[in-house]
Amino acid sequence: MALLEKIQNKSAKIGVIGLGYVGLPLAVEKAKAGYTVLGFDIQEEKVDKVNKGINYIGDVVTSELEDIVRDGKLSATTDYDRIRECDAIMICVPTPLNKYKQPDLSFVINSTNEVAKRMKKDTLIVLESTTYPGTTEEVMLPILEQNGYKVGEDFFLAFSPERVDPGNLVYKTKNTPKVVGGVTEKCTMHAKSLYERVLNAEVFTVSSPKEAEMSKILENSFRIVNIAFINEMAILAKKMNINIWQVIDAAATKPFGFMPFYPGPGVGGHCIPIDPFYLTYKAREYDYHTRLIELAGEINDYMPDYVVERLMDILNNNKKCLNGAKILMLGVSYKNDIDDLRESPSLKVLEQLESKKANVLIHDPYVKQFKYKDHLYTTIDLTKEILNESDAVIITTGHKKVDYEFVAKNANIVFDTRNATKHIKDKYPQKIILI
């Protein structure tokens, strides 16, 4: 039976390499759609949890995971020899930057090598990991053709960028539109056919993997530039004694030509701080420097320093020194109402505070323990006594679970970098200070 027919009648077995924030939700949706799915990961802990129906990703519904595991529609393994069982393989592995902000494609290359050693003819391979334009055809394709198979005939290769927004209550993997670009028309057709049977959303096709790869970079470059712009406006507004949050709210009343972005202590998550720099790296190959993206990165990277400098000034105005001060940080995850710490600017603020000898306590309702730079941190409960004893409270993540009126009522100083106190700040004008 040909692969396209297997995809259409859902007899195709789907492999998902990488069971993290992208891979596990994708594996779950494919299994819910009726496919038999086999997940691959090098971490035995993740594999064991999946096989026991234990959920570790916030965007996955635990009961749904339990059901599809119990019904045999989803299982996981560390044995990459089982790639031979798969008719289609989705690669959802990390694509980090190194300390020089250069792309690290080692996970993609290693996964592609594992697939190339074992894949059979008539297999679909789709890369979902964010990367620079050209990766699918310039890096993956030569590896996959080493065994003599020809793309578009013996196997099918495409790129479809992940669009995961952890904690989003409206858009999940199932209902978020998908972009697909194949190396050949047949590659695109096979990938599109699979996603159409899994998602309740449009599957939009482009002419090649490069356009699909570039679309993901464009989405997040748009965001990093606009966040940097509003961060710079926040710095300027402070110098001019202007409330930047009121300015944004006022501008947002315009029904066209404006989209609100908000300042903060920096940018976090896997996408915004990382993806645009895949493009800056690739652009140098064409003797072009993406100056706006690089400048945006500099501005956003400066924000944790700016926040700590502001806190030092706030303490100084209250005749206190940061060295030895007891500082309570509210929130350590990179965005509100999730437990995701990837690239969190709160961690950089924490590092800066500790380097200046502050005594830092952390409260985060979503994070009980975390490791950062070889140090294990344990968060604390939020109590009246802790608030009273702290020289300052800094809101670094605006979790909705936190009672900010309780915080403002019992704290000495509240430095709010997220406008989390928007609805109560007028009641405590002497205590609450905005970024």
User: Which residues belong to the active site?
Assistant: 271
Q: Please tell me the distance from the alpha carbon of residue 25 to that of residue 31, in angstroms, as a whole number.
A: 10
Nearest to 160 by CA among 92, 224, 87, 88: 92
Q: Are strands 13-17 and 36-40 parallel, antiparallel or unpaired?
A: parallel
- Give me 258's structure tokens: 């404006």
DSSP characters for 58-121? TTS-HHHHHHHHHTTSEEEES-GGGGGG-SEEEE-----B-TTS-B--HHHHHHHHHHHHHPPS
Number of alpha carbons in the 13 Å side-chain half-sphere of residue 290: 22
Cα–chain-centroid distance for residue 176?
A: 15
**DSSP tag of 396:** -
358 neighbors 323 (Cβ within 8 angstroms): yes
**DSSP tag of 150:** -
Q: Please tell me the distance from the alpha carbon of residue 228 to that of residue 306, in angstroms, as a whole number.
A: 13
- Give me 101's structure tokens: 């902000």
Q: Where are the alpha helices (DSSP H) in 253-383?
A: 275-283, 291-317, 345-355
Q: Please tell me the distance from the alpha carbon of residue 136 to that of residue 157, in angstroms, as a whole number.
A: 8
Q: Please tell me the distance from the alpha carbon of residue 44 to that of residue 50, in angstroms, as a whole number.
A: 10
Helix, strand, coil % over all residues of the chain, rounded to 5: 40, 15, 45
Backbone dihedral region for residue 234 (phi beyond 0: left; psi -120 to 50: alpha; all else: beta) = alpha
